[in-house]
Every structure is written in structure tokens, then in C-alpha cells.
Amino acid sequence: MRLPFGTIAVSKKSRKLINTALDTLKLSSGRLVREFEAGFAGHIGTKEAVAVSTGTDADILALAVLHDFGARRGDEVILPALSFVATGNAVLHAGFKPVFVDVERHTLNIDPKKIERAITPKTRAIMPVHLMGKPADMDAINKIAKKHKLFVVEDAAEAHGAVYKGRNVGTLGDMAAYSLYIAHIITTIEGGIVTTDRPDFAEVLRSLRSHGRACKCRVCVVNTCDAYCEKRFKYGEGSDIRFVFERIGYSCKMNELEAAVGLGSLDTYKKIIAKRRANLLSMIAKFKKFEPWLTTIKEEKHEQIGPHAFAIILGEKAPFTRNELGLYLEKNGIETRHLFSSMPTQCPGFAYLGGKLGDFPNAEYIGNKGLHIGVHQDLGPRHVDYFIRKTEEFLKGKGLF
């Protein structure tokens, strides 16, 4: 039996939309992207959603918006030490200095008790990550942000379907950045999207994704219906709004073919997330018997974990390594991934910031002892049971079970 890490389904609706786009040669960002943005915003429960080319771009642009609202280059953004490296990269690419905070080992998320000591006069935002789809402690984070007048930008890359105290993740801060990568629940293959309730933030986002140009209407009549744009020459004779650049921008628009895949993905979301949550919750329940040698995150009463993947963390007294377990699972057809790293102390690219091993003990522990496997919709009860059985076999081979 094989348990691949991820999967993707391209629906009949998506295929039809793709073929129509190819036949009409309407391929750049246009009508389908606008439809997908509206559908995603409605799905999450925000007033606005702005689609971009990757989840990393979503992180970058959400932070870059803050330059229009008082932030300056070189200001600081607080983020967890443990995340996929895109989170730290995004802070730097947006023109800020990352200030890392350790995580809670049992949640994998930023430790709110350690945030305030990291705040300085140059701090402008907190960027919590809902790692593995488990919601961060947003009440505590928002309380700190309000006290210190900071923005909150959720990194919700893996948190499709996550709910915190009755509210969808993605509605809990000033903005939220999602990845729409192929392995995620809602996918456009390689895309990303930013959600917000603030139209002024959304306007800046639409400008930033297209070089910082002055065009920032929610619906561009030129791109969607070939109509004449009355705003095109509003800057005076000889000027064209498409070549007026109001801010330093990026080039990261979503195209029509990606949006077509996303529209189909939105249609199948409820069915897919139900299957994935069933797999995740079954794994969590059946994994308890492997403690204390192996543990995972738990779903608390106040939340629903977005079923991105299943986390595996070696216990402190486990007499085997992560690689031993990972190789055993791989040889038995179960694909694994490392559970990321402590960015400031385990990722060489961040070494210039001066972090030293030991600075973030919980993030470093997960970076050395963490794995994750898929829970996607192509898996089912027999795959879950196979994974549990092979894990038990591994532990028995170590004389532990």
C-alpha cells in the first residue's frame, strides 16, 4: 500500500473553464480570477480577497501593504521561529527585519507569553502561523497587538478549514495569507491569496501585485469585459493609469488557468475537507497509544484543526532518530516530510541575523524530531490503519510496544 503525501483533483468544471480560456485566449488575470477571489472571500467570510501567484507572495504582499500605513523599511515583524521557510523569507522580501519567537512544543505555534519581550519601538506587526492547520492562540496575540498598536497578519498557508472559537482562521487579524499550492485543500496549483475586511488594504494589494501601478479597482473592466476604462487618463493628458506607479511593487498576478482550477476546488471543498478531517481525527485518536515515544498535536474544544497534514513528534526519551522512523515509513510506502526547522538557528540562509543554537529550544526540538505525513482525500480508513500498523511494527522492532 502507498500513502503519498499529497494529491490534486482537477474537476470537470475546471477543465471546461480551462478549455474556454484557451479557446478565447483570455489567459492573463481577468474574469476567472475575479470570480475566484469573490468565491474565496465568501468561503472564508471576509469582504475582500486578492489572488496572487504563490503563498509566499501572499505573505510578502500582506506585509508590504503596511508601508502604506506607517511602516518603514527596516522595521520589525514578530513571527514564530518554527515555520516553513517562506514565512521568514517573506518578512525580508517585504522590507522588514524578522524577529523570531519560540513556539509551544505541544501546539507548534508561537508562544504568546514570549511575544511582548520581543517588541521594540520598531515593531510593526505580529505574524502568527497556524502550523499544520492548528489555530494559533489568537485571543492572546490580538490582545498584545491591540495594547502595542500592532498589525496582525495571519500566515494561514496550511490552515484551510481551521476554526478558532467559532470564527474561521483568515478572519482573525488585519489580513491573512493563504497558500493555494498543489498539496493544499483549496488549490490553484501554485497560487496564493490574501483575505481582509479592509477595502483600503485590498486596493494596495491589487496595486502591489502589478508593479505598484495605480490600477487597483476590484474589477478591471479592461481585463474582464474589454470595456473602455474611464479612469485610464485621470492623471492628465499624456498619462496612462497603467503606467503610473504609486509604490514599489511586485509582479505576481494569478492567471486564468490557475483560477479555473481554484473555482473547481471551491466547489469540492466541503466534500474534500470532510474526508481529510476524518483521516486526521482518526490518526490523532489512534496515535495516543504510542505515547510517550511518539506524540502529535491535539484538537481542543474551542477549535477545529485545518486538516493539512498529520504531525509526528518524537518523545524526549525515544531511543531512535527521526530518520530511522522516516526511512521505515518510506520503505513501507508512506511518504514523509520533515516538520520544518527553526529558521534563525537551523536554516543557513538566516545565519547572518546572528541566531545561535539554543536560542529557540522548542522550535529546534521540532526541527530535529518532527515529521508529517498526508491526510488527503485520496486516503481513507484502510490507509490510516495501515499507517498505524506500520508505526506499531516499527516500535515493536525497537522493543517498545
pLDDT-derived band at 232 (thresholds 50, 70, 90) equals confident
Q: Quote the longest CA-to-CA distance of the chain.
A: 81
Average pLDDT over all residues of the chain: 95
The domain made up of 12-267 is a member of CATH 1.10.40.30: no
- When pLDDT is averaged across residues 283-309 and rounded to a whole number, the result is 97
What percentage of the chain carries pLDDT values higher than 90? 90
pLDDT-derived band at 221 (thresholds 50, 70, 90) equals low
Which pLDDT value is given to residue 227?
67
121: pLDDT strictly greater than 90: yes
- When pLDDT is averaged across residues 183-209 and rounded to a whole number, the result is 96
Which pLDDT value is given to residue 228?
67
Which pLDDT value is given to residue 222?
60
- When pLDDT is averaged across residues 376-391 and rounded to a whole number, the result is 97
239: pLDDT strictly greater than 90: no
Domain 269-397, CATH class in plain words: alpha beta
What percentage of the chain carries pLDDT values higher than 70? 97
Fill in the DSSP letter of residue 158.
Answer: T
Which pLDDT value is given to residue 231?
73
Strands 190-196 and 337-338: unpaired
Q: For 28-47, how does the pLDDT look when each residue is reduced to its tens digit (9 = 90+)?
A: 888 999 999 999 999 999 99
Which pLDDT value is given to residue 224?
63
Q: Among 168, 175, 146, 149, which Cα is nearest to 64's?
A: 175
Query: What is the 3 state secondary structure string of 265-302?
Result: HHHCHHHHHHHHHHHHHHHHHHHHHHCCCEECCCCCCC
Residue showing cell 512544543: 105
- When pLDDT is averaged across residues 255-266 and rounded to a whole number, the result is 96
pLDDT-derived band at 236 (thresholds 50, 70, 90) equals confident
Which pLDDT value is given to residue 394?
98
Q: Which residues contact 170 (CB under 8 A, 6 or more apart)?
A: 44, 45, 46, 154, 156, 159, 176, 178, 195
Range with the lowest mean pLDDT among 80-89, 93-102, 180-189?
180-189
- CATH 3.40.640.10 spans which residues of the chain? 12-267
- CATH 3.90.1150.10 spans which residues of the chain? 269-397
223: pLDDT strictly greater than 80: no
Which pLDDT value is given to residue 215?
78
- When pLDDT is averaged across residues 307-322 and rounded to a whole number, the result is 97
